[in-house]
């Protein structure tokens, strides 16, 4: 070994030792904070009883210390990952959270990656250094420093380096080449410039992030959620942030990213989970889901509601007080018109209809008794008796029933007559047949936007609940007044100038604090409340959403503070987006911003060259993103005679190639259902990917739809021609399938390959 090499190694060892010493100090600080927070939580939990105000403060403190402890625990791995050396001589270490030295005027020990001071770590270049002389990327494992990579940006410095096209190229490539674990990892240590600009963009308005496969769209979206919560904590802590993904498997895959970034208060959900009390696990054809997702379904549902507001053909006869009473058509028409003119939702307008009908029936009874002989009090008595009569109220309920969204939608989709009446202007016979299903069938994800729309159209007659709430508030106010009175009596006032309790806290404020007590975060409360509106909404795979699903999300975010992440070239849903303008124009017209991600970090160049051929065959002007690396593994294709017999051996051979990595076998839906169970039986390490936790398995069998947004070390695409032909969006699906791999790609087929793959 030359002396120069030995000197360099010695310097490197000294630098690693110095970084290790600093990292050890940071973890000691983290441990001390954990212990302090744990002790405060214990003390708070032991402090039971006391006046209501004390209990309220205890609940708030419990939540605060619990959240802080979760944050401190979540940043254990990779807590510090970088360092900035500035021209001024200052040095800042960058990490997942901020740590300070309380004994030294709160000098920063570790700068949170989201803080403005940390931004040069992601943006500084040799051409625009922003005062940065050197940027250091640390590679750590557990609490140990393994190595580092320096980028010297000062071109005049003695230790001159070159401006890399990628920030921390060696660190980035090491991360990209690492084996997949079945859970998405954060990219906080390797965020690139084009990603950082999107992550730190302002919160107001709609931001669309368009990016091809492997450009880090999902990672950018999640880091943006963490950044917004850090930067706009006051605005977002009360309303929360909603992150919407395409399916439960995807949500399971990304579930650990935000906690690792120190954020635990974000609601992760699919559109199908946004209606409290509904579990949408039913299955239906892609065509049925597409029909339900059309914007025309708004009119269909509106008509279905109006169809339940009926009038008699002539009259309906009921018995009241042992005599016949007629519910006349003209009276019902008048009452229905008055109710509809209020423009209230169905269940609220129902009260107007009933009031009008009871008034008409009251006059009918009064005429029979002799109206001239009756005064106002007599008429009120008759009205009350009519309202209490079960026969009369049942007859009126049949004309204008109180409905729930579930009742109405189930009736609509299980009745050919009701469906034909509501949809004759929008659907043909074949489409109606596609939607029909047995009564009580399980709800599907495409039903949830329809239920949400019906909840808006029907409304909820909450008069009784409001009356009960008002009664409870009166009791709480009386109780608070009593508490204050006792506290005033118990005070030992040594000085007449001392403030009394009533000087700083009145009964109404105390009662309000009673009502505000809750152990739930904003995200947890939002999950239970259909009418909750979020401070910001992030949608991943946004190109897949139907027109009806967009209505749900826009209701959840009236401020239109949204980040929409997707790629229209990967649209697989029949009712999905063709252009972003088409999606957004009904809600914000042209008032939205587009940001593009152009660098492919996931997919090696060898695989992307194959996928680019598929993209060129599609009806799109989009170009394939540029890959930053090669894997050294050429994609391969193998023709077989019998899939069931030969595929298991090919899977086992590929699994040996990826060692401890993850392998996905992507099949057309028909083969997934028919061939999947047999393959799982033949492959002990394989599972059918129909549950969120299946991604932990070495081999997972998925449809392309299930694989959306996921990545694997190796991918076997089975029968690509069938993937293309089984869906109207088949070429989009094939493009998605080919771009899930980070290292290796194989294609297995029995027939001819699609033309775009024949050069593989």
Binding residues: 211-218
Tell me the angle at which helices 297-307 and 547-556 cross, rounded to the nearest 10 degrees. 80
SS3 184: coil
Q: How far is CA 613 from the centre of its chain?
A: 33
Which among 269, 196, 273, 463 has a CA at the least distance from the CA of 355? 463
SS3 428: coil
**Using the 8-state DSSP alphabet, how is residue 531 labeled?**
T
Tell me the angle at which helices 346-369 and 329-341 cross, rounded to the nearest 10 degrees. 140
d(C-alpha 759, C-alpha 735), whole Å: 15
What backbone phi and psi angles, to 5 degrees, belong to 241? -120, 135
> Which residues contribute to the annotated binding site for ATP?
211-218
d(C-alpha 177, C-alpha 190), whole Å: 13
- Torsion on CA atoms 57, 60, 63, 66, rounded to nearest 10: -50
Cα separation values, 648 from 50, 295, 645, 654, Å = 67, 44, 7, 10
Structure tokens at 202: 């302002």
Which residues are paired to 494 by β-bridges?
none
Q: How far is CA 582 from the centre of its chain?
A: 22
Which residues are paired to 560 by β-bridges?
none
Sheet of strand 636-639, all strands in order from the earlier edge strand to the far edge = 636-639, 741-749, 712-718, 663-667, 699-703, 686-688
Burial (CB count within 10 angstroms: exposed 0-12, middle 13-18, buried 19+), residue 25: middle
What is the secondary structure of 218-282 as a DSSP string? HHHHHHHHHHHHHHTHHHHHHH-EEEE-SSHHHHHHHTTHHHHTT---EEEE-GGG-STT-----
Structure tokens at 401: 């029933």
Burial (CB count within 10 angstroms: exposed 0-12, middle 13-18, buried 19+), residue 591: exposed
Instruction: Give the end-to-end CA distance of the chain in Å, rounded to a whole number.
Output: 45
Handedness of CA 683, 684, 687, 692 (dihedral sign): negative
Q: Are 178 and 564 in contact (CB under 8 A)?
A: no
Q: Are 716 and 679 in contact (CB under 8 A)?
A: no
**Using the 8-state DSSP alphabet, how is residue 533 labeled?**
-
């Amino acid at each position: 070994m030359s002396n120069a090499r030995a000197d360099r190694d010695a310097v490197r060892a000294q630098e690693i030792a110095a970084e290790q010493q600093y990292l050890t100090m940071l973890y000691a600080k983290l441990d001390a904070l954990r212990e302090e927070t744990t002790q405060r939580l214990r003390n708070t939990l032991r402090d039971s009883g006391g006046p209501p105000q004390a209990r309220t403060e205890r609940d708030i403190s419990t939540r605060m210390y619990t959240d802080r402890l979760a944050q401190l625990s979540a940043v254990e791995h990779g807590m510090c990952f970088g360092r900035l050396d500035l021209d001024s001589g200052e040095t800042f270490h960058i990490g997942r959270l901020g740590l300070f030295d309380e004994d030294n005027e709160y000098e920063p020990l570790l700068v949170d990656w989201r803080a403005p001071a940390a931004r040069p770590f992601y943006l500084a270049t040799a051409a625009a250094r922003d005062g940065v002389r050197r940027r250091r990327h640390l590679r750590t494992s557990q609490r140990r420093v393994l190595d580092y990579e320096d980028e010297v940006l000062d071109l005049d410095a003695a230790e001159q380096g070159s401006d890399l096209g990628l920030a921390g190229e060696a660190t980035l490539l090491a991360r990209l080449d690492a084996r997949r674990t079945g859970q998405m990892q954060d990219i906080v240590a390797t965020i690139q410039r084009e990603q950082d600009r999107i992550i730190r963009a302002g919160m107001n308005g709609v931001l669309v992030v368009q990016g091809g496969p492997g450009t880090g769209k999902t990672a950018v979206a999640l880091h943006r959620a963490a950044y917004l919560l850090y930067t706009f904590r006051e605005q977002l802590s009360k309303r929360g942030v909603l992150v919407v993904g395409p399916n439960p498997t995807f949500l399971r895959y990304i579930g650990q990213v935000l906690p690792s970034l120190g954020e635990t208060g974000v609601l992760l959900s699919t559109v199908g989970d946004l209606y409290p009390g509904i579990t949408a696990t039913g299955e239906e054809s892609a065509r049925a889901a597409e029909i339900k997702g059309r914007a025309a379904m708004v009119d269909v549902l509106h008509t279905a509601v109006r169809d339940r507001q009926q009038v008699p053909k002539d009259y309906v006869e009921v018995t009241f007080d042992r005599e016949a009473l007629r519910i006349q058509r003209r009276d019902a028409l008048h009452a229905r018109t008055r109710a509809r003119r209020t423009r209230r939702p169905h269940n609220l307008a129902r009260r107007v209809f009933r009031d009008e009908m009871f008034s008409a029936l009251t006059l009918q009874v009064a005429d029979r008794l002799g109206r001239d002989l009756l005064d106002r009090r007599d008429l009120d008595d008759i009205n009350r008796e009519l309202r209490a009569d079960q026969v009369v109220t049942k007859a009126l309920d049949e004309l204008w029933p109180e409905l729930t969204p579930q009742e109405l939608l189930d009736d609509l989709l299980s009745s050919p007559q009701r469906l034909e009446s509501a949809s004759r202007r929008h659907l043909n016979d074949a489409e109606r047949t596609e939607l029909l299903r047995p009564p009580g069938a399980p709800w599907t994800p495409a039903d949830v936007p329809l239920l949400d729309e019906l909840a808006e159209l029907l409304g909820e007659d909450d008069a009784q609940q409001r009356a009960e709430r008002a009664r409870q508030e009166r009791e709480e106010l009386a109780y608070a007044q009593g508490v204050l009175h006792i506290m005033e009596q118990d005070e030992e006032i040594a000085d007449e100038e001392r403030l009394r309790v009533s000087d700083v806290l009145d009964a109404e404020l105390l009662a309000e604090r009673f009502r505000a007590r809750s152990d739930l975060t904003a995200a947890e409360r939002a999950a239970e409340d259909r009418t909750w509106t979020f401070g910001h909404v992030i949608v991943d795979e946004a190109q897949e959403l139907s027109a009806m699903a967009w209505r749900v999300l826009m209701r959840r975010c009236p401020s239109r503070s949204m980040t929409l992440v997707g790629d229209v070239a990967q649209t697989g849903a029949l009712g999905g987006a063709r252009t972003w303008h088409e999606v957004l124009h009904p809600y914000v017209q042209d008032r939205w911003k587009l940001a593009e991600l152009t660098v492919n970090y996931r997919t090696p160049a060898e695989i992307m060259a194959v996928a680019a051929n598929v993209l060129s065959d599609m009806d799109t002007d989009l170009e394939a993103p540029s890959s930053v690396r090669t894997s050294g593994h050429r994609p391969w294709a193998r023709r077989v005679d019998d899939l069931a017999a030969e595929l298991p051996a090919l899977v086992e051979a590929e699994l040996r190639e990826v060692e401890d990595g993850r392998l996905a076998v992507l099949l057309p839906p028909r083969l997934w259902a028919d061939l999947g169970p047999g393959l799982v039986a033949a492959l002990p390490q394989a599972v059918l990917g129909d549950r969120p936790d299946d991604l932990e398995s070495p081999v997972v069998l998925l449809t392309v739809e299930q694989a959306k947004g996921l990545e694997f070390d190796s991918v076997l695409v089975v029968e690509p021609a069938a993937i293309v032909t089984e869906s109207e969006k088949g070429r989009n699906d094939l493009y998605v399938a080919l771009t899930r791999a980070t290292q290796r790609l194989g294609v297995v087929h029995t027939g001819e390959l699609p033309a775009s793959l024949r050069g593989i």
